[in-house]
């Protein structure tokens, strides 16, 4: 019932429903004064009083007083403090997408918006384009560069001048990061009159020619077919799975499609894995297109991100390349969405609002009436099942673009071998053989640090992280212990903390130790270790890749950072040092992930004219997945993996949701999940199976105990119905206030 408006309200006042960033599954209602100068629209940001604070939120509904049926009488509602945007920041498709996500993920509206909005906008900063400027090299600068007038040790200055010299039209100030140029260097150079800065009002007009096509690249028949199939549905929604073996030229397919989209005056959105957005990837796009390309990833400053986002929104950017959350760019005229390496786990957000960028991209594209291309040499079982259900159309590239020879696989059974620091004699001989042939070798070990455990030989003490109950990894060079689970670290002891013995020894093998062992075995080889520890510096990865491509490195040692997307034509041997951990794990997805990893790592060899070889070391040489991958390929493995999931009624054949709770003590965690279970049990007519509560895979993390409750059903609608019916009650449980909890839809892994 409508409460009687008192004297201070009029019928022209509005009630505005706002998403505020709090972990509650509801909107908050406010009044808007009748004479407020900006008309309210769904999708505008507002500031509102919230408790004693002022918060930024997003308008999601506007109603008249008559239509308001909230709990509070209308005159008790507080007033909106201000409307921040003249107009909605979002078009109808993204607003619809938000609504879909809210319903599907059962997530708090404010949390979702926190993910959609670039952080500057979430903080309430104005959605304003900054005036850009262009840096150019001067004639004096050119002379200085040519005449070697730059001081010998001023390497940055020299590099910067060289880059500006290459880019005759200059480099936009907003893009300095893309070129790894620092503002401070430019200021020094400007002081010498070697560079100058011009402020501009509009971005420079692109060339009349959109692309620079490479000479004599003839598309393969399969590439042509794929491009044709996708071009035919550029004006409508359809998801394609471009299932192309490694080095089959998937990127070339993307580039041709993007060209068509741009010619139609539309924009292309390209999502790549977190570690896939290397300067090399970007260079491939920049070399091909004379259009405005913007990137969106976590390496940018908040302001750069905002500026790039605004260029996507205004249509000034024709190509938007980014990681997961770039999916939420507002686009002026979307034409296609491409997800490269669609199987990659980084497309799943694992904190805050948890979503799958692949799934959401398909929904977004259907709202926009545009195609999605999912590309991979090792597609997710999700996408392959969608092919079986006719939801996704599969296009195959079965041949490598440049190489005719097959990659040769060898499995080394470690049970029958003595090892030298983790390396079998056969692998060592293989490395020598390939080095002698002047080729490069890649050794893959997915464990950084020196050793996964530090152990006392006398008393058995081992380096346990008390907060997580798992071992600290020992890092030798900096001599510290780091928990790779919670991130905490401390100095490594030289004496056993328990018995004071000096016999504390590292046990097991990480990349740091492997590099040491390989250096001892091949003292003349140039070795590069590439993992998170050696690539902290921003341009480090880029420098390594240049060195590898330039032939300055003989042996590359690395984690999964090396596994994906790189094109190193001279690598002919890939050694997988230890696949045991990946083969056996409590996660039912472990074989799928391991198969993807092996496919991707192996794909780094044999990419050009030289024949490639892969050597896999394992104690489980008879694991069925290994022989499938080696003898019949990923597709055959995937078929049998899908069969297993169907039989066991596991996702993606069935549908799952998970409640996870954590707290410093176990009891409140269990109580909350028991209470949750009781509420869910009220609807036993719905065909949803409840499993748990049970401890999470990592039961303790950073001092908190973690338990979970699984919901599983072959009927997706019933699963969602159950959650819709119960979420409010669960959220209001008294026991919910004593833990940190969340619900996760289509959960993966444990994090
Ligand atoms: N039709 C073609 N003819 C000759 N070379 C090609 C052709 N198409 C692509 N290439 C080249 O083949 C190499 C591998 O292609 P690309 O990197 O696009 O493969 P990919 O399928 O994306 O590989 P991955 O999945 O391993 O990342 C590149 O150097 C590319 O320029
Ligand atoms: Zn820890």
Residue 41 sits in the same domain as residue 113: yes
**More confident call, 654 vs 280:** 654
> Is 735 within the bounds of a domain?
yes
Taking CB atoms and a 6 Å cutoff, what residues make up the pocket around ligand 1? Answer: 217-220, 223, 244, 246-252, 377, 401-402, 565, 567, 603
**Residue 139, pLDDT score:** 92
Nearest C-alpha to atom 23 of ligand 1 is from which residue? 247
Please give the Cα distance from 452 to 297 (Å, whole number): 31
Tell me the pLDDT band of 4, cut-offs 50, 70 and 90: very low
**More confident call, 374 vs 146:** 374
Nearest C-alpha to atom 30 of ligand 1 is from which residue? 249
Tell me the pLDDT band of 7, cut-offs 50, 70 and 90: very low
Please give the Cα distance from 226 to 214 (Å, whole number): 19
Q: Point out the ligand nearest to the CA of residue 481.
A: 2
Whether pLDDT at 3 is above 50: no
Q: Which atom of ligand 1 is nearest to the CA of 397?
A: 21
Q: Which CATH number covers residue 373?
A: 3.40.50.300
**Residue 131, pLDDT score:** 77
pLDDT in tens, 227-276: 999 999 999 999 999 999 988 999 999 999 999 999 999 999 999 998 76
Listed residues 596, 618, 641: the one ending a domain: 641
Lowest mean pLDDT among 276-280, 305-309, 440-444: 276-280
Q: Which atom of ligand 1 is nearest to the CA of 565?
A: 27
Q: Point out the ligand nearest to the CA of residue 487.
A: 2
Mean pLDDT, the chain, rounded, equals 90
Residue 679 sits in the same domain as residue 610: no
Q: Which atom of ligand 1 is nearest to the CA of 218?
A: 1
Residue 340 sits in the same domain as residue 475: no
Q: Cα of 484 to ligand 2 centre, how many Å?
A: 7
Place of tokens 């919910």: 736
Whether pLDDT at 577 is above 60: yes
Residue 474 sits in the same domain as residue 567: no
Residue 442 sits in the same domain as residue 472: no
Q: Could you tell me if 658 and 694 are in contact, meaning their C-beta atoms sit under 8 angstroms apart?
A: no
Nearest C-alpha to atom 27 of ligand 1 is from which residue? 565
Residue 518 sits in the same domain as residue 493: no
> Is 604 within the bounds of a domain?
yes
Whether pLDDT at 353 is above 70: yes
Using the 8-state DSSP alphabet, how is residue 248 labeled? S
> Is 216 within the bounds of a domain?
no
Residue 694 is assigned to a ligand binding site: no
Residue 496 is assigned to a ligand binding site: yes
> Is 600 within the bounds of a domain?
yes
> Is 206 within the bounds of a domain?
no
Start-to-end Cα distance in the chain: 45
Whether pLDDT at 281 is above 90: no
**Residue 202, pLDDT score:** 58
Instruction: Please report, for residues 383, 424, 567, 640, the alpha-carbon distance to residue 251 in angstroms, rounded to integers and kept in the order given.
Output: 19, 36, 11, 28
Listed residues 87, 122, 157: the one ending a domain: 122
Residue 418 sits in the same domain as residue 497: no
> Is 733 within the bounds of a domain?
yes
Count of the separate structural domains present in the chain: 6
Q: Point out the ligand nearest to the CA of residue 464.
A: 2
Lowest mean pLDDT among 264-273, 578-587, 593-602: 578-587
Rounded to 5 degrees, what are φ and ψ at 693?
-65, 145
Please give the Cα distance from 722 to 683 (Å, whole number): 7
Residue 60 sits in the same domain as residue 87: yes
Q: Could you tell me if 385 and 642 are in contact, meaning their C-beta atoms sit under 8 angstroms apart?
A: yes
Packing angle, helices 716-731 and 666-681, rounded to 10: 120
Range of the domain at 478: 454-507
Nearest C-alpha to atom 24 of ligand 1 is from which residue? 246
In DSSP terms, 82 is beta-bridged to 47
pLDDT in tens, 486-523: 888 889 998 999 999 999 999 999 999 999 999 999 99
Report which of 148, 151, 89 is spatially closest to residue 121, judged by C-alpha positions: 89
Please give the Cα distance from 538 to 529 (Å, whole number): 16
Residue 614 sits in the same domain as residue 575: yes
Beta strands in 245-288 (DSSP E): 267-271
**Residue 1, pLDDT score:** 36
Nearest C-alpha to atom 15 of ligand 1 is from which residue? 249
Long-range Cβ contacts of 687-696 (<8 Å, 24+ apart): 687/713, 687/714, 687/715, 687/718, 688/712, 688/713, 688/715, 688/718, 688/719, 688/722, 689/713, 693/669, 696/660, 696/750
Listed residues 468, 484, 507: the one ending a domain: 507
Count of positions (residues) in the chain? 751
pLDDT in tens, 406-458: 789 999 998 878 888 889 999 999 999 999 999 999 999 989 999 999 999 88
Q: Cα of 290 to ligand 1 centre, how many Å?
A: 21
Whether pLDDT at 126 is above 50: yes
Task: Render the burial of 658-681: b for 16+ CB within 10 Å, e for the rest.
Answer: bbbbbbeeeebbbbbbebbbebbe
**41 dihedral zone (left: phi>0; alpha: psi -120 to 50; beta):** beta
Q: Averaged over 548-571, what is the pLDDT?
A: 88
Residue 374 sits in the same domain as residue 277: yes
* Ordered strands of the 171-172 beta sheet: 171-172, 132-137, 195-200
Residue 542 sits in the same domain as residue 414: yes
Residue 468 is assigned to a ligand binding site: yes
Whether pLDDT at 6 is above 80: no
Lowest mean pLDDT among 4-8, 126-130, 151-155, 553-557: 4-8
> Is 64 within the bounds of a domain?
yes
Please give the Cα distance from 582 to 715 (Å, whole number): 31
In DSSP terms, 412 is beta-bridged to 617
Residue 107 sits in the same domain as residue 183: no
> Is 531 within the bounds of a domain?
yes
**Residue 107, pLDDT score:** 94
């Amino acid at each position: 019932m409508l409460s009687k408006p008192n004297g201070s309200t009029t019928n022209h006042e509005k009630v505005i429903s706002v998403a505020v960033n709090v972990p509650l599954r509801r909107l908050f209602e406010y009044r808007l004064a009748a004479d407020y100068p900006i008309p309210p629209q769904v999708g505008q940001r507002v500031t509102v009083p919230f408790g004693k604070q002022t918060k930024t939120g997003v308008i999601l509904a506007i109603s008249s007083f008559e239509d308001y049926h909230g709990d509070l009488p209308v005159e008790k509602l507080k007033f909106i403090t201000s409307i921040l945007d003249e107009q909605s920041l979002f078009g109808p498709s993204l607003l619809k997408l938000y609504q879909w996500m809210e319903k599907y993920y059962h997530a708090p509206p404010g949390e979702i918006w926190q993910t959609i909005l670039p952080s500057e906008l979430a903080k309430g900063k104005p959605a304003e384009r900054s005036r850009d400027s262009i840096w150019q090299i001067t004639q004096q600068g050119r002379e200085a560069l040519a005449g070697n007038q730059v001081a010998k040790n001023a390497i940055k200055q020299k590099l910067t001048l060289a880059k500006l010299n290459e880019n005759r039209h200059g480099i936009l100030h907003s893009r300095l990061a893309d070129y790894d140029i620092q503002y401070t260097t430019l200021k020094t150079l400007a002081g010498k009159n070697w560079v100058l800065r011009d402020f501009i009002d509009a971005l420079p007009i692109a060339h009349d020619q959109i692309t620079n096509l490479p000479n004599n690249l003839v598309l393969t028949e399969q590439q042509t077919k794929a491009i044709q199939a996708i071009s035919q549905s550029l004006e409508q929604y359809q998801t394609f799975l471009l299932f192309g073996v490694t080095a089959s030229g998937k990127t070339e397919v993307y580039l041709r499609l993007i060209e068509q989209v741009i010619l139609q005056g539309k924009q292309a959105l390209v999502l790549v894995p977190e570690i896939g957005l290397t300067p090399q990837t970007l260079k491939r796009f920049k070399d091909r297109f004379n259009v405005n390309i913007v990137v969106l990833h976590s390496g940018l400053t908040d302001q750069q991100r905002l500026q790039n986002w605004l260029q996507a929104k205004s249509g000034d950017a024709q190509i938007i390349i980014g990681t997961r959350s770039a999916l939420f760019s507002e686009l002026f005229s979307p034409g296609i969405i491409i997800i490269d390496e669609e199987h990659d786990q980084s497309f799943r957000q694992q904190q805050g609002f948890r979503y799958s960028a692949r799934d959401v991209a398909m929904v977004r594209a259907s709202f926009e009436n545009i195609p999605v291309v999912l590309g991979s040499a090792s597609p997710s079982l999700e996408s392959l099942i969608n092919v079986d259900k006719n939801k996704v159309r599969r296009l195959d590239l079965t041949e490598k673009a440049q190489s005719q020879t097959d990659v040769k696989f060898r499995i080394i059974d470690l049970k029958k071998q003595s090892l030298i620091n983790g390396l079998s004699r056969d692998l060592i001989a293989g490395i020598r053989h390939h080095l002698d042939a002047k080729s490069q070798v890649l050794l893959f070990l997915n464990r950084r640090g020196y050793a996964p455990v530090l152990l006392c030989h006398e008393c058995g003490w081992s380096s346990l992280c008390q907060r997580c109950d798992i071992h600290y990894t020992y890092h030798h060079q900096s001599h510290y212990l780091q928990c790779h689970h919670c991130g905490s670290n401390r100095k490594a002891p030289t004496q056993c903390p328990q018995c004071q013995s000096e016999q504390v020894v590292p046990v097991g093998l990480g990349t740091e130790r492997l590099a040491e062992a390989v250096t001892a075995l091949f003292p003349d080889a140039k070795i590069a270790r590439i993992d998170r520890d050696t690539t902290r510096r921003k341009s480090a990865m880029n420098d390594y890749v240049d060195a590898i491509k330039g032939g300055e490195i003989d042996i590359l040692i690395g984690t999964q950072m090396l596994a994906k997307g790189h094109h190193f034509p001279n690598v002919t041997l890939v050694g997988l040092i230890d696949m045991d951990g990946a083969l056996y794990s409590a996660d039912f997805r472990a074989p799928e992930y391991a198969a993807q990893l092996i496919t991707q790592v192996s794909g780094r060899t044999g990419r050009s004219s030289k024949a490639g070889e892969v050597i896999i070391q394992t104690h489980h040489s008879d694991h069925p997945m290994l022989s499938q991958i080696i003898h019949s390929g990923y597709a055959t493995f995937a078929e049998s993996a899908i069969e297993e999931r169907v039989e066991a009624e596991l996702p993606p054949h069935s549908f799952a949701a998970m409640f996870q709770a954590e707290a410093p003590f176990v009891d409140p965690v269990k109580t909350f999940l028991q209470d949750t279970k009781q509420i869910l049990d009220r609807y036993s007519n719905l065909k949803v199976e409840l499993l748990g509560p049970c401890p999470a895979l990592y039961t303790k993390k950073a001092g908190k105990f973690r338990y979970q409750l699984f919901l599983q059903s072959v009927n997706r609608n019933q699963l969602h119905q159950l959650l819709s019916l119960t979420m409010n009650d669960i959220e209001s449980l008294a026991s919910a206030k004593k833990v940190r909890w969340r619900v996760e839809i289509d959960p993966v892994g444990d994090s």
